[in-house]
């Protein structure tokens, strides 16, 4: 019997953040999340779209992702057969929209794995049952405020600190964190594309602080410029926004544009493409780690499973639920000794809590197939 897809629910929820999160491109105070639920003859699957409410991190945004799912991606789905490869073939002719495609593919994969009683971790090839966690710390109004925030996260057990930077908030906060917490702290920075190659000398100033990496210093499409910058810095360059596919990863590695890759499944169009990047990077001795888009428990569960693959050798931005939300929409992810456990149940291994979900729901639409 072939599985039939009867329809897809697109649900928007509003999740206030416990603390504003400032990056070089803006401030988030609440997470506007698009959830995707597919209903099939074999059961349901859930996924979370990584798009933010505005197209600043990348060109996609939540309303746009919802529109492309409604108008094009969902109607194109094969009506019978829940074969993930077939779904990928159907979505391929539509250019871009990787965050939207990823959410749809992941919800379908979740449904399929649940009906096969297999976990995401087992399906993807997880090599361990827990993953080491870092935390991403936003730009603050003052250095003392930053030091207090970092101190609290270290006390909670986070094994690696990532500081968001931008021109004017780079050397000084990094120096202050190093001085206060010492040279052994695993420390890295993320510029979200805020610099240009003309800032190479300033960025080389970061070389004194023994950082694990500098993430996405230059613009998203500055692959060649990143390669040039890599020749001028001792600090390893990690790419985030620039890598939208395994082909991008291959180009970046062969150009020498990065020696580390932040893998976000949504950004690259799904978990299968994410695994391809992992395999490619591993074969080239390029370290990878799992990034984050301020996910609820739904998105976090699958990310934690991915982060358990053997090539994920650096702690990810896979923080505990309390880093983001007072109440998560699933059972919360809680750190133990700086680690999160990989869910073991079928599919993502987590379920939305109906009461919480209802409380945070802003809208819902049903697309019948």
317 binds Mg ion (CB under 5 A): no
Q: Is 188 in the site for ligand SMG (CB under 6 A)?
A: no
Site residues (CB under 6 A) for ligand SMG, limited to 281-320: 291-295, 317, 319
Distance in Å, CB of 331 to ligand SMG, minimum: 18
15 or 294, CB closer to ligand SMG?
294
Interface positions, 221-240, toward Mg ion (CB under 5 A): 240
Q: What's the min distance (Å) between Cβ of 158 and ligand SMG?
A: 11
Q: Out of ligand SMG, Mg ion, none, which partner does residue 349 contact, by CB within 5 to 8 A per kind?
A: none
- Name which of 123 and 324 has its Cβ closer to ligand SMG: 324
Given the rule CB under 5 A, which of 11-19, 58-66, 179-187, 211-219 is the region that contacts Mg ion?
211-219
What per-residue string of b and e applies to 141-174 under the rule 16 or more CB within 10 Å gives b? eeeeebbebbeebeeeebbbbbbbbbeebbeebb
Out of 10, 23, 46, 174, which residue is the one contacting ligand SMG (CB under 6 A)?
23
Question: Is 264 designated active site?
Answer: yes
Instruction: Tell me which of 60, 105, 110, 190 binds Mg ion, using CB under 5 A.
Output: 190
Q: Which is nearer to ligand SMG, 5 or 140 (CB)?
A: 140
* Residue closer to ligand SMG, measured from CB, 217 or 311: 217
Of 215-254, which residues contact ligand SMG (CB under 6 A)? 240
Q: How far is the CB of 240 from Mg ion (least distance, A)?
A: 4
Comparison of 57 and 123: residue with beta carbon closer to ligand SMG: 57
The catalytic position among 2, 79, 101, 264 is 264
Alpha-carbon Rg for the chain, nearest whole angstrom, is 20
Using the rule CB under 6 A, is 273 a contact of ligand SMG?
A: no
Q: Is 2 a catalytic residue?
A: no
Based on CB atoms, which residue is closest to ligand SMG, 23 or 348? 23
Binding residues vs Mg ion (CB under 5 A)? 190, 215, 240
Binding residues vs ligand SMG (CB under 6 A)? 21, 23, 28, 57, 136, 190, 192, 240, 291-295, 317, 319
Residues involved in catalysis = 164, 264
């Amino acid at each position: 019997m072939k599985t039939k897809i009867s329809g897809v629910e697109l649900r928007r929820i509003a999740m206030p953040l416990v603390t504003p999160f400032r990056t070089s491109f803006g401030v988030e105070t609440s997470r506007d999340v698009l959830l995707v639920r597919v209903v099939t003859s074999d059961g349901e699957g859930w996924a979370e779209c990584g798009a933010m409410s505005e197209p600043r991190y990348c060109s996609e945004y939540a309303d746009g992702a919802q529109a492309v799912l409604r108008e094009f991606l969902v109607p194109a789905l094969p009506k019978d057969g829940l074969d993930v490869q077939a779904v990928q073939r159907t979505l391929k002719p539509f250019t871009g929209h990787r965050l939207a495609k990823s959410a749809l593919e992941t919800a379908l994969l979740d449904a399929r794995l649940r009906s096969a009683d297999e976990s995401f971790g087992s399906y993807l090839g997880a090599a361990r049952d827990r993953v080491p966690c870092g935390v991403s710390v936003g730009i603050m109004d003052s250095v003392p405020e930053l030091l207090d925030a970092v101190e609290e996260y270290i006390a909670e057990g986070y094994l690696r600190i990532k500081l968001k930077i931008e021109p004017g908030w780079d050397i000084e906060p990094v120096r202050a964190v190093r001085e206060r917490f010492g040279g052994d702290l695993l420390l890295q920075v993320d510029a979200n594309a805020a610099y240009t190659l003309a800032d190479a000398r300033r960025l080389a100033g970061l070389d004194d602080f023994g950082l694990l990496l500098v993430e996405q210093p230059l613009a998203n499409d500055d692959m060649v410029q990143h390669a040039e910058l890599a020749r001028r810095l001792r600090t390893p360059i990690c790419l985030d926004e620039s890598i939208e596919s395994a082909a991008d990863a291959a180009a970046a590695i062969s150009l020498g544009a990065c020696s580390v890759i932040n893998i976000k499944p949504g950004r690259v169009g799904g978990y299968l493409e994410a695994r391809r990047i992992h395999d490619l990077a591993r074969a080239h001795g390029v370290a990878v780690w799992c990034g984050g888009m301020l996910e609820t428990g739904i998105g976090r569960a699958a990310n934690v499973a991915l982060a358990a693959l053997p090539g994920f050798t650096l702690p990810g931005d896979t923080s505990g639920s309390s880093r983001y939300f007072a109440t998560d929409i699933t059972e919360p992810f809680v750190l133990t000794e700086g680690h999160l456990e990989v869910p073991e149940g079928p599919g993502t291994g987590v379920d939305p809590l109906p009461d919480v979900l209802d409380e945070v729901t802003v809208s819902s639409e049903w697309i019948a197939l």
